[in-house]
Chain A
Amino acid sequence: MAVNAKTLNETEFFYGHKACAGCGGSLAVRIALKVLGENAVAVLPAGCMSAVGFNFPQLCFGNNAIISTFAGTASMLTGVQAGLRAQGITDFHAVGFAGDGGTADIGLQALSGAIDRNDDILYICYDNEAYMNTGIQKSSLTPFGARTTTTPAGKNIHGNLRPKKNMFEIVAAHGIPYAATASVGYINDFMRKVEKAKSIKGTKYIHILAPCPTGWGIKTDETIEIAKEVVDCGLWYLAEYENGRFTLNHRPKEFSSVKEYLKKQSRFRHLTDEDIDIIISSRDKKWLQLAES
């Protein structure tokens, strides 16, 4: 039976941290560590989750945890698992928690190398769709139209011009043993995926969408709803890649309103109806492709 609220490890491993109130990323880290348990060895690159977890001498992790270079999450994970094995330790879970910038931009090479070697690690990307820790700059996972400090919304240019990179498919294209997408709005689905990843040898990748109230311009109590809504309106999808095959976990019968989803967030408030039409048609194109595969 899949792990649920009642059977989940009651111990908290990520506690007293300094994330903003309502931070989606901190919920993803908290829940993943509860599923993995005390034998998790966590690697966190520069980014919000390391900034809020390690404030020397305060250490908000109850399990072993270490900060890596911004680019080096996956390579440090490789080192951690090799080091533990060299000591004869086999009962561990080397897990990384990297942001969207740390994963899809600067950390992509190290991640690709680890997958290529099929190192026994779990890489979790908590995607808040921008470089939040340094003040909301665009990453390659920032969606089209989003306002960030490096993609401002003006009269002529309406925020980010580029679409969001599909990290899940990039990772799957390596032929990785297991990859999945998730959202903090569907936390049981995320727990099931972490639990599954825990039992698989080799490289595992989970990409979880994790709203950031500060960078997205939502209220601190809206994190879960917005993370649910992004799935329900079809701009994000829950899927798995295993044994060379894709599975779609959740197919909304009818999409909820994209416009409503966007307009709740100040990063999208400037968008015109034409901009929103572009977003809707790229969503429809993606779902057509998903239906065919």
Chain B
Amino acid sequence: MKPFLRENIPTDLEEIPDAPAYEAGYLVTKNAGWRNVRPVIDPLKCTVCLNCYLHCPDGVIFRKDGRVEIDYDFCKGCGICKKICRLGAIEMEAEKNG
């Protein structure tokens, strides 16, 4: 199962289990804020070779409807995907957040 962001994030002590064990794949925060630059895939240049998907340390590149897409909630903007793409289909763009 793929870990996913939960809707109810425990905040009170009562909601946090006493035992030091927890549900598998229980995400409470995103990693998007780590990023200064974001990878953007040009679908016209991309041949879906999956090389970027294979090398992303965060596993945030995925296949959807015959294309590859990026989960920007968890991409850290490392730039590995851009370097690995032999077709130059990925550009790193500055994040515009204030």
Residues of A within 8 A of B (CB): 5-6, 8, 10-19, 21-24, 26-27, 30-31, 38, 56-65, 187, 219-225
Given A15-B59, A26-B58, A60-B27, CB of A21 within 8 Å of CB of B22: no
Dominant SS among interface residues on chain A: loop
CB of A66, distance to nearest CB on chain B (Å): 8
Is B76 part of the contact surface with A, judged by Cβ < 8 Å?
A: yes
A17 near B58 with CB under 8 A, answer yes
Known contacts A10-B63, A22-B80, A221-B83; is A58 also within 8 Å of B57 by CB?
Answer: no
Q: Is the CB of A16 within 8 A of B74?
A: yes
Closest CB-CB distance, A42 to chain B, in whole Å?
A: 10
Task: Determine the chain A residues whose CB is within 8 A of the CB of B31 once the complex forms.
Answer: 16, 18
Interface set of B (CB-CB < 8 Å, partner A): 1-3, 5, 10, 16-17, 20, 22-31, 34-35, 49-51, 53-60, 62-63, 74, 76-80, 82-84
**Can you list 7 A-B contacts with CB-CB less than 8 angstroms, sorted by A residue number?**
A15-B74, A16-B29, A22-B80, A220-B80, A223-B80, A224-B83, A224-B84
CB distance from B35 to the nearest CB of A (A): 8
A79 to B16, CA, bound (A): 28
13 new A-B contacts, CB < 8 A, other than A15-B2, A59-B22, A220-B76, are A12-B2, A15-B58, A18-B31, A21-B57, A38-B1, A56-B22, A58-B28, A59-B25, A60-B25, A62-B24, A220-B80, A223-B57, A224-B80
The 5 closest A-B pairs by CB, nearest first: A221-B79, A22-B78, A5-B50, A21-B78, A21-B76
Contact assessment for B57 and A22 in the assembled complex, using a CB-CB cutoff below 8 Å: yes
Bound: A19/B34 CA distance, A: 11
Contact, CB under 8 Å: B78 / A220: yes
On whether the beta carbons of B5 and A16 are closer than 8 Å, the reply is yes
Assess the A15–B25 pair: CB atoms within 8 A: yes
Expressed in whole angstroms, the minimum distance between the Cβ of B50 and any Cβ of chain A is 4
